[in-house]
Structures are given as structure tokens and as C-alpha cells.
Structure 1
């Protein structure tokens, strides 16, 4: 199975319309009816004019579409749909991920917004599963939004520490950070910067052998809880850690925590660290000098409006 998602403009109005008609016609009858059912090729072209859209193609066949509608610092997802014949193959998730990536490439966009029908609870749950949170409700619509990820290029270990230190300035008690990246990617170096920015006590090293360490604040701010989830068997074991601190009063950083630590809070910040070369075993590359690409992916209402660090600030 070959799946690709491409950015399109008004020239793709007919393809977008075909997906919209197929997707919305298969949904339950709503009152009032969905506006999408009255779209024409001309009206779709007009919707595509400001910000374009995305098409998903499965083995060369167009099976998914969404219109991207920029409005201030928000990118609205309009006429989001997947052809019923292709449902269950990850098309909708691929479209959302592509929309997030596209928003990250456009200047000034900070959030993705979707208007879901409250009569369709499974649809609303899908958006929650994709990291969207309810921000407003005007029946029959539920407005849901999620922040746009930010990608930062980190050329040196000092810059990685600086990223952590800058990020610390926007953190508050109760925040959860989930770190991922191969061994040696820079997760602990990043956390050392966080510790410096939060002004906590103690040397921050990899917590592998003790699973978790608590670093109290030296200045009345939140403590830093540094957890290595690599050897934990599940969320229950994470909850059972005897940390001698209230996580609501601390900033919690969980290495190797993807899919595990998110239950600690309603919102969290994914910090994904990768090598710029894409090949940790490449010959002739100094692993200490190999630049890193860090993706800061915030999830939840807590992060809407939070200014995350950019490469230019480091």
C-alpha cells in the first residue's frame, strides 16, 4: 500500500469535491444538514484560494482531502473527509499529520482548528485522539484546537542545553514533557538545560539506574522530576513510582515515555530529538558535532498560545 499526501491549490477542486461528496454523503443525516453537501466545484475552488488544501492518494487513487483555511494565527481544517471505500487505513490520521507539518512551515500559524458536529461523538473522539481539545461550543458545532509543532535545528550540545533553558521560561508546575530519541541523541543534555532554567538543585544525569530523580527548586519554583521510563512496564508502574513529590507541583520530564507518560496530564509536550544526518552509524561523522533536529509537539489546551523557542533565540 502506497500512501502519499500532497499540497494542492484551486486546480484540484474537482478531486477535493469528489472526496467531500463521497465522505459527507456516507455520514448520518444531520439537522441542519452539513454545508458540505451543497458544495460545487466552483465553491470548493473558492475555499481553496486562500490557503490551498491537502489530497491523500492511496496507490495513486485520491481517497482523502481537506481544505486549509488560514485565519490570523489559526489554520482551520475545512471539508475534512475520507472516501468510505478507503476508511480504516490511516488516511485521516495521515491528513492530520500532514496538516500539522504544513502549518509548521507557514509563518505565524500557531494552532490547528476543526469544527466538529456534536451529534457525531465518534468524530469528536477522533479529534481528541489526535490531540485536539475543546475550546468553544456553539451547537451544533464543537470547536477543537491543538497547537502547531515547532521544529528547531540544534547544531551543538551547548545549543541543546540552551534550548532546554529557554523552554524552562515558559514551563509551570504540572507540565509534563515526553522525550524521545535514540541513545546519545541529547535527551539528558536537553534536561540539563531545563534544570538550569528552572534553577533546581543537584546534577542532572541519566536516571537509568534509579528510574527517577527529584530535583527541588532553589528559588521557590517547581521541582524537576526526571524519569527514565525505558524499563517500566506500563502506566501503572509509572504511577507507582515513589517520587516523594506532588507532580502537580513539579515539571516532569520522562525519557522514553512516548505512549506511556501522556496519562500523567491532560496536556503534554512531546520533545522528539533526531540526528540531522538521519544515520547514527554513518562513518566520518563526529557524533558530538552531528546537528540535531528537535520537534516540539505540544498537545492540549495548556499549550495554546505558549511561545515555544525558535532556532533564532538560541
Structure 2
């Protein structure tokens, strides 16, 4: 069967289903939107944590991940003309705003990073140029953190995404990703922190907020009376995406890092910090993957009866 024939068969099957799954942002090139949102979310969080803790490794990680996230977005768009049109729609498109945020982030990062990597060869850390780069990069990272949740909330045809909590959830995940990136940085430097250290307390606090927001999201979908939102939730909790929710989000992303952090297996070490950071980030990816894949369109139903001629 040809690729076009296969796509036709899938489309036909979707239209025969009451709840048609969205595939534009989940399959084929569309999957790169998931990768892009995941990467820029971790990148923006890592950058802000790097600025706060004056950690060059987190800053470098944020810059590289943001660049990879931008490439993933471009690969998703496929055609350059689509990119140019999208960039000019800032008044109506959250995707457009996100691209401008990414542009600001990368430009500001390129200005801010050199003195931290090469000394005062170009300009000093305290120079006007460096401070300007920091402000621009912070503005871009804040836009990136905020825009992702609104991209999905603006999709009115997919009720599960159309939640006021979605943007807040994505903001929380960005900060969780930033905390995980800083833990990985500590591990690379061979540093050890105590169980009550500031960064672990921050990770626990952000993770607790993520859990609470997820519970509210689930409760909202169940109590909304919207059958489509419930269908999406069923896919996550008891359907084709359940393995990603229970195995990825809960076990890998929550249970494992919390268990390791408690020091039950062994005292905290650089290796354990690295594992905590990696499992935390992996859980964040499964969250974005499953929530995007769970999106289904509202069914089209014709009410009433056709009039007889």
C-alpha cells in the first residue's frame, strides 16, 4: 500500500469513529511538535535556573536544547513559506509568539554566554552587552514557558486541551525541567547535596504542584460533563496511553526520583543526582507525549430530523 493510500485509510477510519483523534500534532512530522515543546520547556527552565545559580553548565544545556527545539519546530512546519507566514501572526497565534520568544532567547543567549565561556575576550560579564543579553534571554525564556500551554488551550475543538489549568501545568513542568537540569549539572561537577538542600526542596515543591494540577485536570475532565474530554482522559488512564501514564509519568517521573531522593537505597551521590534528574525529565516527556496524543476532536452530530420533501 502506498503512503498516500495508508493515510487515506487512516483518515477514513478516523471519520468513522465518534471521537476522531488529532494526528496533526502527534504523528509523522507532527510528532516533532511534541519533541520541540519538550525541548524548549526544559531549555527555558534550565536557563532560568542557570541564571539564578550562576551555573554555566545549565546555561549551555538550555541554549543547546533550545536550538534543538527550534529545529524540531522547523522540521514540523516542513515548508519555509509556512514558517514565514506563521511568524507574522503574533496577534492571533500562540505558536507565532512562541517562535518570537525562542528567537529572543537564542539571541540573548548568544550575547550573554561568551564572557562566561571565553572570559573577557569579547566583553566582560558585567558589561552592558552581557546585561542586555541576560534581559533579552530572560524575556524569551518566560515567553517560551508561558506560550506552550496556551497553544493547546486555544484549540477549542479538543475539549481535553481547552482547560484553564493547562498553561499553569506547563509552567510547572518547565520549572521542574529546570530543576532536573541543575541536578544533572551538579552530578557532572561531582557535587553532593544533602536531602534538605535548596534544589531538592524546590524539586519537591514543583513536583507537588504538578501532582495537584494533574488531579485538578482529571477532576475537571470528569466533572465537566463533556464526553469528549472524558474520552481523552480514558485514553490516558485506561486506554492506549495508560502505559505511558502509569509507567512513564508516575513510576519513572515521580516514584523513582522520589525514592532515590529519600536515600533509602544509598546516600545521595553524583550518580544518584544524575539519575534523579534523568528520570524526572523522562517523566516530563511522557506527560507531554500522552496529553497531546490523547487529544480527540468533538464529534460532529446532526440534531433533529431532515424535513421530507
Q: TM-score range by the shorter chain?
A: under 0.3
Q: Normalising by structure 1, what TM-score?
A: 0.21
User: Larger % of strand: which?
Assistant: 1
Q: Normalising by structure 2, what TM-score?
A: 0.21
